[in-house]
Structure 1
């Protein structure tokens, strides 16, 4: 009991179309209002960090990305970069640009998947399916390049695993044109729709100060008006050699987070198009590394579709890492942020799926 109202507890997820994957929330309701939320993880716990400490350097490539199926490539790239720092090697320029193309297509595919869930949460199914059409073509591009649709194994310690297909440049540029056309359709159908605007404006608003205090990075932080992006702030690969902007918006609510992600897609397309033009057909793709790593420490930070991801690896020499630690992108989104907003604002049970979708967490990330 609380005051004159009777509080009711319900479980939201993991088997719920509005839940972001393998996670549940225990919601406390006062009528239609959610007054408290408890995050319940553990449905996909596999102990990736400890698993990686018991597998060889090359085996760990296939573990490095498996806790975020929607955006696996930045995680794969970060692992390769950390191991390269332990070895003290610089990869070929071609490999840097290919990794950037890989990461940006992964970001776009993730944002398209997000728009599918965001459209579904607001009852707008048609543009949600359009988004999947564009994402499907990106997965086909990955399959032609790497032989895999979802997990790709393109970036390995030392550079890029696969040679470029003969039609790589043409296929990539053709794909960017196709994706841009479809994204503009989805953007108009969602952002210009009065139902979408009414359901998202004012929901889950965060200021830049609040976002920073809650540990937020990525699109949610930039939607609150802070132009922080690792690709600009602490450039890696060759991000400092291509032209792109860091979009920001100011209101920090579910609608502005939606606006921002569409703008990010267009910037990613710019990066891909410029990176393709900088690839040297005669250039190398990979530096061969020994199977045994020297003692040392490797730290890599990358900007994923959900924010800053970091991996920290310690080597004592040998065939396996001594310690591996991974920094979650989604942990604050599903814990501190959701709880803060629910306790501060009047979030109804109908608003809750929209709030979650607008934050776009990757649930398995916190079960790593």
Structure 2
């Protein structure tokens, strides 16, 4: 191929086809994308380093901001790591409430993904249904936690405060309202022949390649790999709830979208079961000791996009000149987006004929969250 035919083009960070505050360097031969490189750094805020200079309870507020669209799973990851350090288990009631909060966060995230996914391919009618359903979930979060976007409700030792007296009725009512809207999304967008033609047989990822390249969550399951940390680790109350793990058959962009659609219905069923099985009495949080024990904790959860991990190291005071008794010595997060927008995306571009018009669908099928790259 003549070098004169290869054109370098930069996509994003301010572009409708770019997934937020990231950019891409594209090598093009006409309309075909020959290579793609992620350009992060537009949203770097240094959260991990900031957390080392703040108390562990203050860090919970910072952790939620690692991924704006799915904050509760980041809180849960951080909380699990801190509970390992403290050596405590939350009460049974708190475990079920955490599951409900996490699944509503998954639903809200998938619905917001629908808005970003459908818009660039001109299916703007779907964004209205998605936002209408998500609004009901945000109202529920406001009712339970007092906040719509960042909730800070999951807390080491349990949950921050007790649930309202009409919690069960309000929760089931939200599910009743959002289900018809998700049905409309299913019939009017996911099963629409135009969308299927745009996404089917494009961006295929084989199961072995998905594992090797670090894919997790719906991207991994869309390739047919039946793995979910909620089943594997059975954290909180997930071991007491019966649910299936949806997988794809072809590993293409359409399968990844269908996995998220099926996950929305599964999340609603998980919430129903958790509401029915949740203890109505008993403590909702255990009191923590005044000082943090020396040690380390690792939290792993199945977030809306895939595996989220937090590693926290706590050393005795004086181990570092800046360390204080209530501050973590080191903290590190690992989100799912980096692998999806680097190794996975580059592999697909190198092994398949992807055009510039395909990129919004291909990148959108991974549901990337730019903030969890720049921490």
Q: TM-score range by the shorter chain?
A: over 0.9
- Report deviation, 1:121: 2.5
3-state DSSP of counterpart to 2:114: helix
Contact 1:121 1:357 in 2 (8 A): no
3-state DSSP of counterpart to 1:364: helix
Distance 2:19 2:235 in 1: 30
For residues 161-176 of structure 1, the aligned pairs below 5 Å read: 161-176=160-175
Distance 2:355 2:57 in 1: 48
3-state DSSP of counterpart to 1:310: strand
- Report deviation, 1:342: 1.1
Distance 1:101 1:282 in 2: 17
1:24-66: CA deviation from partner (whole Å, max 9, x where unpaired): 1111111011111111100111111111111101100011121
Q: TM-score, normalization: structure 2? A: 0.96
1:187-223: CA deviation from partner (whole Å, max 9, x where unpaired): 1111221110111111111011110111001001101
- Report deviation, 1:128: 1.8
Across the aligned residues of Structure 1 and Structure 2, the Cα RMSD in angstroms comes to 1.1
User: Who is 2:237 aligned against?
Assistant: 238
Contact 1:65 1:151 in 2 (8 A): yes
3-state DSSP of counterpart to 1:164: coil
User: Who is 1:337 aligned against?
Assistant: 344
Given candidates 343, 353, 358, the residue that maps to 1:351 is 358
Contact 1:57 1:291 in 2 (8 A): no
Distance 2:155 2:163 in 1: 15
3-state DSSP of counterpart to 1:58: helix
Report how many aligned residue pairs link the two structures.
Answer: 367
Contact 1:37 1:342 in 2 (8 A): yes
Contact 2:64 2:152 in 1 (8 A): no
Contact 2:118 2:124 in 1 (8 A): yes
Distance 1:291 1:211 in 2: 44
Distance 1:278 1:60 in 2: 31
Distance 1:54 1:277 in 2: 42
Counterpart check, 1:59 vs 2:66: no
Contact 1:145 1:162 in 2 (8 A): no
Distance 1:260 1:217 in 2: 13
For residues 135-214 of structure 1, the aligned pairs below 5 Å read: 135-214=134-213
Distance 1:148 1:197 in 2: 37
User: Who is 1:322 aligned against?
Assistant: 329
Runs of 4+ in 1 over 4 A off after TM superposition: none
3-state DSSP of counterpart to 1:260: helix
Distance 1:316 1:338 in 2: 39
3-state DSSP of counterpart to 1:26: strand
3-state DSSP of counterpart to 1:66: helix
Contact 2:53 2:327 in 1 (8 A): yes
3-state DSSP of counterpart to 1:244: coil
3-state DSSP of counterpart to 2:33: strand
User: Who is 1:131 aligned against?
Assistant: 130
Counterpart check, 1:82 vs 2:84: no
1:84-103: CA deviation from partner (whole Å, max 9, x where unpaired): 11111111101000110010
3-state DSSP of counterpart to 1:311: strand
Distance 2:176 2:213 in 1: 38
- Report deviation, 1:5: 5.2
Distance 1:277 1:19 in 2: 41
Contact 2:67 2:369 in 1 (8 A): yes
Distance 1:129 1:149 in 2: 19
Q: TM-score, normalization: structure 1? A: 0.97
Contact 2:66 2:74 in 1 (8 A): no
Contact 2:224 2:250 in 1 (8 A): yes
3-state DSSP of counterpart to 1:351: helix
Counterpart check, 1:305 vs 2:312: no
User: Who is 1:367 aligned against?
Assistant: 374
Contact 1:5 1:30 in 2 (8 A): no
User: Who is 1:111 aligned against?
Assistant: 110
Unmatched segments (≥5 aa) in structure 2: 317-324
- Report deviation, 1:4: 6.7
- Report deviation, 1:280: 2.3
